[in-house]
Amino acid sequence: MSAVSSNQGSGLRRQTRTISITSGKGGVGKTTLVCNLALHLSRMGQNVLILDGDIGMANVDIMFGVRPRFTMKDLLINQRRIEEVLVQVEPRIWVLPGGSGFNDLQNMSESEKRVLLDQLRGLKQTFDVMLIDTAPGIDNNVMYFNTSAQEIHVIVTPDPASFADAYALIKVLHTYHRAKRFSIIANQVRDEAEGLQVFQKLSDVCQKFLYVSLDYIGAVPTDLSVRRATRSQQLVLKATPEAPASHSIKKIAEKITTTQNTGQMKGGIQFFWEQLIGVA
């Protein structure tokens, strides 16, 4: 399988946007949201690459009903080619499967890093968007993924623990990694009004104690259709496209395509990987 640019015949190719989807706490519906966002972006004509960065709990492939032969570990350790590791799961969606191996990124020799970059260089400007599904929390791997991406999207729910952990994540990224701008998606809310309340509360706290900018991207309501689809390893946009959650996810995907974090001057996929393995 080889990826094909969606910009052929349109002159200069657009630079790939790299967006991390992250959370301070597990159980907020992050991976489900990533996969459904990718599906709607693909339906809008975008070529999407999903990087499954949830170490030890990688499950993006499961959501698409595929079983990858190789993972990032094979790319980093077993010297598999990028074409062997990438899995196409939909006409415009590719997944770089996770699994163990990312802990070795910071310990690679310079020559190994260069070999890896040579392998990954073929991805440059091939995709319109790369979505990075990070693990929850604030461990080193989560920090590497978030700070290497152009844009950081934080998922938060009305649960007080989710709110507190989202603030902690933003604080660490700002204090120790100089991240200044974050996009917020409220998930598992009653309605749009509660989503706005969750965002406003988080924004007020951040403005009081941190020098950061928060942008509201949208909210996804609690919906039994999502739970049923996830249990059956399906995407809610496919299983019940008219469900309230499906409509909300579509709106968020559409907003992502029309807005961009212009405050970040980072490059695309190549810069992401250089940052991640420490050669930039």
Domain ranges, ordered by start, for the chain: 17-260+267-276
pTM score: 0.88
Average predicted confidence (pLDDT) for the chain: 86
* CA angle, residues 166, 186, 38, in degrees to nearest 5: 105
pLDDT surpasses 70 at 24: yes
User: pLDDT at position 264, please?
Assistant: 53
pLDDT digits (tens, 9 = 90+) for 196-216: 999 999 999 999 999 999 999
Question: Stretch 28-45: mean pLDDT, rounded?
Answer: 97
pLDDT surpasses 90 at 67: no
pLDDT surpasses 90 at 19: yes
User: pLDDT at position 139, please?
Assistant: 85
Fold of 17-260+267-276: Rossmann fold (3.40.50)
User: pLDDT at position 142, please?
Assistant: 87
CA distance 118 to 26: 34
User: pLDDT at position 171, please?
Assistant: 97
pLDDT surpasses 70 at 31: yes
CA distance 28 to 31: 9
When pLDDT is cut at 50, 70 and 90, the band that residue 57 belongs to is low
Of residues 71 and 6, more confidently modeled: 71
Question: Stretch 240-263: mean pLDDT, rounded?
Answer: 90
Ranges 94-103, 152-161, 217-226: which has the least confidence: 94-103
User: pLDDT at position 236, please?
Assistant: 97
Ranges 70-79, 163-172, 176-185, 248-257: which has the least confidence: 70-79
